[in-house]
């Protein structure tokens, strides 16, 4: 019986369910000291002096400052602009300035009270607006880290000719990933000088690359191992480079293992968040409701250093026109520097920001044209043969229309809309009701030529003991990659799922299959393993006339085939010759394939308290092929709830350039009682290059709920909120202003 398409049980499930799975803080490390971080308290300043005051027994501790860095003081990512420890200048509150290790964890924290930093304040730009006004200059002459432009046709001319036009400024805030396991890393040096890092992370090979300039070590002297990881959502993509560098610096100086585990407050205050964005979105339609012009200006707040912002911006700009065709498009996008902690990867990676504007704008176009927003969408949806803003022609696997049809039908959208309109007219009703829709696309895998440059590799082995073993740096972070990849391999080999094992995610043992990001693990790494499995199967068949049918037969075959070590096949990503993208002009095939989704939200707004209760969500998502439907549904529902939180509850409050509600007590993420019932339908329009037709799934659910929520609130209250989160306070304020 095939494994693909079945709800196979999670490979690592039993250990997680019994407390036997070891997360970084659970791993006993003999002789480890605890590392803590001295951080800047000001947004922009010259550091004049760092003083270690009397009153703490400093002889018991080890202290590290920038002067202790043997190599280059940087957190290497796209650029080297971010220091591992601030030296002469600090560019944001909470920037690491020094590190302290002590045998006792509470003493290590206590020591922080005995460090004093003397500053000479510099002007600070704390918001996008202040950055654009050049209140402080952090980058180049204009604070712009990166800009992109996508231009197709003549948007200005088309806008003039349009029947109806709208012009709206949309704003979305930071969002905290809020993985329930805070970040943590353990580090030590082996006797042969090898640097070891063991921690909660998504991208082990990022850390290998980041450690090289700091310590001047060659790649083979750096070993990174993923501990069981308690959620990531992008938050553990690049930030672990920073903690790894810190733990390793302390380990080098203390000459013993160092454990650095952030507590929740530190984690929320200092780690990367979703980029806030301001999107000015102008759109024009003709009399038939056809989208004829789009003029979009996107600005994202990168924070003080570059980190991954250009790539986040790139995905944002490539999704800015939504899953619709439009002949004349002009999109300009910038990410700018501010004196705030750097923003970074978070599920969706730029797309939720621009799709919020693209989708919600249909409500304004509907208002202007008196054509309902569903009809407008239907008239403009992409289908096979459609052209996107980059000129990409969609050749296959476009399930958007089907997704929208399913959602409209299952949610009884038209009927509910009518019923709600009647309900809202009742003067005595305790609530207002609304239902709203959205539709999105999400590019699977790296943008543009990312996969070509990455050249990721994955291996499949037959071991001497007669087990198949997946060797890849794909990190299981809860998304179910272990099971998904095993199911792909099992069916490619034609063996039971239970015969497949996964090698520990340790850079000593697994090749660089690329980072665990961008909805790429199933599609890209799964694709490589699918190919490697075919190679391995052919090799086994070449030696044994009949492919082993039982474990005993396999063990017998393995004794001969893997006598001198595992029989291993490795596949490397190869460029698809008919997929072309020009990184300079942003023309061409931005992604090999896209997932598509539609979603409806039904909600009520209390007329007295303005509390919004989401009653139900219906969604249909075209993900090519659900390798494991249960896992895919879990991804969709989990992503949907994170996005509902972003739309309604999660409000990061910044003061003087730092998040001040950096705790789960007042940064509110949804509980089981905030979560609505969800109706999920999986649409499977296979992608010819994905394993068994699979495309990406992880991020798309994050893109779609926020605009649907705002559309529903509009029906309920008559108010269109171009800014999230829509809290009871924001509704009260808007109603007060309307009166």
What's the min distance (Å) between Cβ of 726 and another protein?
A: 20
What's the min distance (Å) between Cβ of 46 and another protein?
A: 34
Give the helix ranges, DSSP H, for 389-480.
400-410, 413-425, 450-454
| Residue 682 is a binding residue for another protein (CB under 8 A) | yes
What's the min distance (Å) between Cβ of 21 and another protein?
A: 6
Cis ω on the peptide bond leading into residue 183 (within 30° of 0)?
A: no
Considering the complex, state which of residue 17 and residue 560 has its C-beta at the smaller distance from another protein. Answer: 17
Q: What is the 3-state secondary structure (H, E, C) of 570-628?
A: EEECCCCCCCCEECCCCEECCCCCEEEEEEEEEEEEECCCCCEEEEEEEEEEECCCCCC
Considering the complex, state which of residue 81 and residue 181 has its C-beta at the smaller distance from another protein. Answer: 181
What's the min distance (Å) between Cβ of 16 and another protein?
A: 3
Question: Residue 138 and residue 124: Cα distance in Å, rounded?
Answer: 9
Question: Which residues, including other chains, have CB under 8 Å from residue 573's CB and lie 6 or more apart?
Answer: 451, 452, 454, 455, 456, 457, 514, 524, 528
Direct distance between the N- and C-terminal alpha carbons of the chain, in angstroms, rounded to an integer: 65
| Residue 384 is a binding residue for another protein (CB under 8 A) | no
What is the CB-side half-sphere exposure of residue 589 using CA atoms within 13 A? Answer: 20
Total residues contacting another protein (rule CB under 8 A)? Answer: 69
CB 166 within 8 A of CB 644: no
Considering the complex, state which of residue 25 and residue 372 has its C-beta at the smaller distance from another protein. Answer: 25
Give the helix ranges, DSSP H, for 255-301.
264-270
Considering the complex, state which of residue 176 and residue 363 has its C-beta at the smaller distance from another protein. Answer: 176
Among 620, 702, 706, 726, contact with another protein (rule: CB under 8 A): 620
| Residue 67 is a binding residue for another protein (CB under 8 A) | no
Phi, psi of 438 (to 5 degrees): -155, 160
Measuring CA to CA, which residue among 277, 284, 254, 271 is closest to residue 187? 254
Question: Residue 538 and residue 544: Cα distance in Å, rounded?
Answer: 10
What's the min distance (Å) between Cβ of 233 and another protein?
A: 7
Residues 148-177 that bind another protein (CB under 8 A): 177
Q: Which stretch binds another protein (CB under 8 A): 1-9, 79-87, 380-388, 420-428?
A: 1-9
Question: What Å distances lie between residue 545 and 118, 493, 542, 560, CA to CA?
Answer: 76, 15, 7, 13
Measuring CA to CA, which residue among 485, 464, 462 is closest to residue 473? 485
Residues 487-526 that bind another protein (CB under 8 A): none
Considering the complex, state which of residue 92 and residue 259 has its C-beta at the smaller distance from another protein. Answer: 259
| Residue 12 is a binding residue for another protein (CB under 8 A) | yes
Considering the complex, state which of residue 179 and residue 468 has its C-beta at the smaller distance from another protein. Answer: 179
Considering the complex, state which of residue 259 and residue 282 has its C-beta at the smaller distance from another protein. Answer: 259
What's the min distance (Å) between Cβ of 79 and another protein?
A: 30
Considering the complex, state which of residue 173 and residue 399 has its C-beta at the smaller distance from another protein. Answer: 399
Measuring CA to CA, which residue among 98, 66, 95 is closest to residue 304? 95
List the beta bridge partners of residue 277: 172, 300
Question: Residue 521 and residue 478: Cα distance in Å, rounded?
Answer: 13
| Residue 541 is a binding residue for another protein (CB under 8 A) | no
Among 178, 394, 492, 597, contact with another protein (rule: CB under 8 A): 178
| Residue 1 is a binding residue for another protein (CB under 8 A) | no
Residues 180-219 that bind another protein (CB under 8 A): 180-182
Phi, psi of 64 (to 5 degrees): -125, 135
Question: Residue 723 and residue 707: Cα distance in Å, rounded?
Answer: 10
Q: Which stretch binds another protein (CB under 8 A): 81-89, 149-157, 330-338, 664-672?
A: 664-672
Considering the complex, state which of residue 85 and residue 269 has its C-beta at the smaller distance from another protein. Answer: 269
Binding string, residues 621-660; x marks residues near another protein by CB under 8 A: -----x--xxxxxx--xxxxxx------------------
Considering the complex, state which of residue 155 and residue 702 has its C-beta at the smaller distance from another protein. Answer: 702
List the beta bridge partners of residue 119: 47
Residues 341-360 that bind another protein (CB under 8 A): none
What's the min distance (Å) between Cβ of 666 and another protein?
A: 9
Considering the complex, state which of residue 352 and residue 480 has its C-beta at the smaller distance from another protein. Answer: 480
Considering the complex, state which of residue 524 and residue 627 has its C-beta at the smaller distance from another protein. Answer: 627
Question: What Å distances lie between residue 540 and 131, 404, 405, 536, CA to CA?
Answer: 61, 46, 46, 6
Among 669, 719, 720, 734, contact with another protein (rule: CB under 8 A): 669
What is the CB-side half-sphere exposure of residue 196 using CA atoms within 13 A? Answer: 17
CB 111 within 8 A of CB 56: yes
Among 448, 480, 698, 725, contact with another protein (rule: CB under 8 A): 480
Question: Residue 598 and residue 605: Cα distance in Å, rounded?
Answer: 23
Considering the complex, state which of residue 178 and residue 605 has its C-beta at the smaller distance from another protein. Answer: 178
| Residue 681 is a binding residue for another protein (CB under 8 A) | yes
Q: Which stretch binds another protein (CB under 8 A): 12-20, 64-72, 123-131, 444-452?
A: 12-20
Three-state SS at 53: coil
Among 54, 671, 736, 739, contact with another protein (rule: CB under 8 A): 671
Residues 221-280 that bind another protein (CB under 8 A): 228-233, 263-265
| Residue 708 is a binding residue for another protein (CB under 8 A) | no
Where does residue 689 rank: exposed (0-12), middle (13-18), buried (19+ CB within 10 A)?
A: buried
CB 381 within 8 A of CB 373: no
Among 1, 18, 59, 141, contact with another protein (rule: CB under 8 A): 18
Residues 400-459 that bind another protein (CB under 8 A): 402, 406
Measuring CA to CA, which residue among 349, 340, 335, 333 is closest to residue 127? 340
Considering the complex, state which of residue 263 and residue 498 has its C-beta at the smaller distance from another protein. Answer: 263
Q: Which residues bind another protein (CB under 8 A)?
A: 5, 7, 9-10, 12-23, 25-26, 28, 177-182, 228-233, 263-265, 402, 406, 477-480, 620, 626, 629-634, 637-642, 663-665, 669, 671-673, 675, 677-678, 680-684
């Amino acid at each position: 019986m095939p494994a693909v398409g079945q709800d196979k049980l999670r490979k690592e499930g039993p250990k997680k369910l019994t407390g036997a799975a070891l997360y970084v803080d659970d791993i006993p490390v003999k002789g480890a000291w605890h590392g803590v971080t001295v951080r800047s308290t000001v947004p922009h300043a010259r550091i004049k002096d760092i003083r270690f005051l009397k009153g703490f027994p400093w002889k018991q501790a080890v202290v590290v400052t920038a002067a202790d860095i043997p190599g280059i003081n940087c957190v290497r990512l796209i650029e080297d602009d971010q220091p591992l420890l601030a030296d002469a200048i600090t560019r944001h509150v909470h920037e690491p300035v020094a590190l302290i290790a002590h045998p006792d964890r509470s003493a290590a924290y206590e020591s922080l009270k005995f460090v004093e930093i003397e500053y000479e304040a510099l002007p600070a730009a704390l918001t996008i607006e202040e950055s654009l006004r050049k209140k402080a200059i952090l980058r180049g002459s204009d604070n712009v880290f990166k800009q992109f432009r996508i231009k197709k046709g003549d948007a200005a001319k088309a806008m003039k000719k349009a029947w109806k036009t709208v012009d709206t400024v949309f704003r979305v805030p930071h969002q905290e990933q809020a993985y329930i396991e805070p970040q943590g890393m353990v580090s030590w040096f082996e006797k042969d000088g090898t640097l070891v890092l063991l921690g909660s992370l998504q991208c082990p090979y990022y850390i290998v690359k980041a450690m090289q300039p700091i310590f001047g070590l060659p790649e083979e002297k750096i070993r990174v191992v993923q501990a069981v990881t308690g959620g990531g959502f992008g938050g553990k993509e690049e930030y672990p480079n920073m903690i790894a560098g810190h733990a390793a610096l302390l380990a080098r100086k203390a000459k013993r293992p160092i454990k650095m585990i952030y507590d929740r407050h530190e984690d929320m205050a200092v780690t990367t968040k979703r980029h806030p964005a301001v999107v000015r979105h102008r759109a024009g339609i003709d009399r038939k409701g056809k989208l004829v012009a789009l003029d979009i200006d996107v600005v994202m707040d990168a924070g003080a250093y570059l980190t991954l912002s250009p790539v986040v911006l790139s995905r944002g700009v490539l999704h800015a026109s939504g899953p619709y065709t439009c002949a004349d498009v002009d999109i300009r996008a910038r990410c700018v520097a501010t004196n705030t902690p750097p923003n970074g990867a978070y599920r969706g990676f730029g797309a939720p920001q621009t799709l919020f504007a693209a989708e919600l704008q249909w409500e304004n176009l509907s208002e202007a044209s008196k054509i309902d927003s569903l009809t407008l969408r239907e008239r403009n949806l992409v289908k096979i043969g459609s052209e996107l803003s980059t000129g990409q022609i969609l050749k296959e696997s476009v399930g958007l229309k089907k997704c929208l049809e399913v959602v409209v039908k299952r949610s009884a959208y038209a009927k509910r809309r009518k019923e709600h309109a009647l309900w809202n007219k009742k003067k005595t009703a305790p609530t207002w009701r609304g239902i709203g829709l959205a539709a999105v696309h999400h590019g699977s895998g790296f943008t543009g030529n990312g996969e070509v440059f990455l050249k990721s590799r994955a291996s499949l082995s037959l071991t001497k003991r007669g087990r198949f073993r997946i060797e890849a740096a794909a990190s299981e972070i809860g998304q179910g990659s272990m099971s998904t990849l095993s199911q792909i391999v099992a069916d490619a080999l034609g063996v039971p799922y239970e015969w497949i094992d996964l090698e520990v995610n340790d850079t000593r043992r697994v090749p660089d299959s690329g980072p665990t990001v961008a909805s790429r693990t199933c599609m890209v790494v799964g694709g490589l393993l699918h190919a490697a499995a075919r190679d391995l199967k052919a090799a086994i068949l070449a030696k044994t006339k009949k492919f082993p049918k039982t474990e005993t037969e396999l063990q017998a075959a393995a004794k001969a085939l893997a006598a001198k070590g595992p029989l291993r096949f490795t596949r490397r990503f190869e460029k698809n010759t008919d997929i072309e993208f020009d990184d300079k002009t942003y023309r061409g095939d931005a992604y090999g394939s896209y997932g598509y989704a539609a979603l409806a939200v039904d909600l009520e707004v209390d007329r007295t308290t303005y509390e919004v209760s989401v009653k139900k969500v219906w969604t249909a998502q075209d993900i090519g092929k659900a390798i494991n439907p249960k896992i895919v549904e879990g991804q969709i529902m989990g992503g949907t709830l994170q996005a509902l939180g972003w739309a309604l509850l999660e409000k990061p409050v910044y003061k003087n350039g730092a998040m001040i509600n950096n705790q789960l007590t007042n940064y509110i993420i949804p509980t089981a009682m905030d979560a609505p019932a969800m109706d999920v339908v999986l649409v499977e329009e296979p992608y010819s290059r994905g394993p068994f037709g699979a495309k990406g799934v992880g991020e798309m659910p994050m893109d779609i709920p926020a605009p649907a929520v705002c559309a529903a609130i509009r029906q309920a209250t008559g108010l269109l909120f171009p800014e999230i989160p829509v809290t009871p306070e924001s509704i009260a304020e808007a109603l007060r202003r309307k009166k």
